[in-house]
């Protein structure tokens, strides 16, 4: 079986490094030894498990991309960079015909979708790459569509805690707010309670100290107007393994669409993790 080449952008960020390290040891993949990185990164290379990866700054990527494509004619790009780079990176991938998995949250998502739709390549874009959480979101979407206003007159609190380095509000929490709105609860994304303080996470939330640098704890609490009923949904993730598995499954999915789909079927197509779940259910 031919290995799928993956270019992991966002090194030396924690999640990008974790995924790259996994790719190196996974028989299904080969790591492309280049990574798009931010202008603030001073190093020119980063070594992961003995593999040296060249770090490509924004100012030099236009000049290097042809060289990268010539050396690696067919690869999938995985983006775990920074929210501020989402749209510029999306345009770069589309302009250079680089199919990509966008794991980075933030940015102007509508603009990102429009960018892909005007291009020649498909992309997989999701606010969360954890398949189990995506499945939970799908259940919420079903409830919101099938039972609109089910929680009318209820109040909502949304609390999300992530590692201190996470710059933006959780994309998953934002998506969940949309479902609760359709279930009858007026609630703004600005009302999401975002926790990034390690001391609060460790003391009040009781998040294990070993996972303060990498976790995703979400709690959604719904309370009736008279206080007589309360519902709570939560998903607490420690570490990053769940995102690695989902991201790599997403890359394999996108590659299969490129192999088996016609250009007309894949051109400008945006897939989601729901599409990945549906394929897994069929196999």
Which residues are part of the catalytic machinery? 162, 166
For residues 20 and 273, what is the distance between their CA atoms, to the nearest angstrom? 20
CA distances from 59 to 8, 47, 78 (A): 18, 22, 20
Closest Cα to residue 155, out of 250, 224, 106, 92?
A: 224
Closest Cα to residue 13, out of 41, 54, 33?
A: 41
DSSP string, 4-49: EEEEEETTTSHHHHHHHHHHHH-TTEEE-SEEE--TT---SEEEET
For residues 123 and 116, what is the distance between their CA atoms, to the nearest angstrom? 7
Q: Determine the straight-line distance between the first and last CA of the chain, rounded to whole angstroms.
A: 18
- Beta bridge partners, 235, equal 218
For residues 274 and 283, what is the distance between their CA atoms, to the nearest angstrom? 15
**What is the SS3 assignment for 176-225?**
HHHHHHHCCCCCCHHHCEEECCHHHHHHCCCCCHHHCCCEEEEEEEEECC
**Stated length of the chain:** 283
């Amino acid at each position: 079986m031919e290995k799928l080449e993956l270019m992991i952008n966002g090194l030396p960020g924690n999640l990008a490094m974790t995924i790259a390290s996994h790719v190196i040891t996974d028989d299904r993949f080969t790591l492309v030894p280049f990574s798009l990185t931010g202008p603030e990164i001073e190093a020119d290379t980063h070594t992961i498990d003995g593999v040296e990866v060249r770090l490509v700054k924004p100012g030099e990527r236009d000049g290097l991309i042809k060289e990268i494509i010539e050396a690696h004619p067919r690869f999938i790009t995985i983006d775990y960079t920074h929210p501020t780079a989402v749209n510029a990176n999306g345009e770069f991938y589309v302009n250079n015909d680089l199919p990509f998995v966008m794991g980075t949250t933030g940015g102007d998502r509508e603009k990102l979708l429009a960018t892909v739709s005007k291009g020649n390549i498909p992309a997989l874009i999701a606010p969360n790459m954890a398949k189990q959480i995506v499945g939970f979101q799908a259940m919420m979407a079903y409830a919101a569509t099938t039972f609109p206003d089910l929680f009318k007159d209820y109040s909502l609190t949304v609390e999300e805690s992530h590692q201190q380095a996470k710059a933006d509000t959780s994309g998953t929490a934002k998506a969940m707010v949309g479902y609760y709105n359709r279930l009858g609860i007026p609630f703004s994304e600005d009302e999401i309670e975002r926790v990034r303080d390690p001391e609060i996470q460790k003391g009040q939330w009781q998040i294990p100290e070993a996972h303060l640098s990498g976790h995703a704890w979400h709690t959604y609490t719904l309370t009736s107007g008279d206080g007589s009923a309360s519902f709570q949904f939560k998903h607490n993730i420690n570490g990053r393994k769940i995102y690695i598995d989902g991201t790599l499954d997403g890359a394999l999915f996108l590659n299969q669409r490129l192999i088996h789909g016609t250009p007309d079927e894949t051109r400008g197509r945006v897939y989601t993790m729901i599409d990945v779940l549906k394929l897994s259910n069929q196999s």
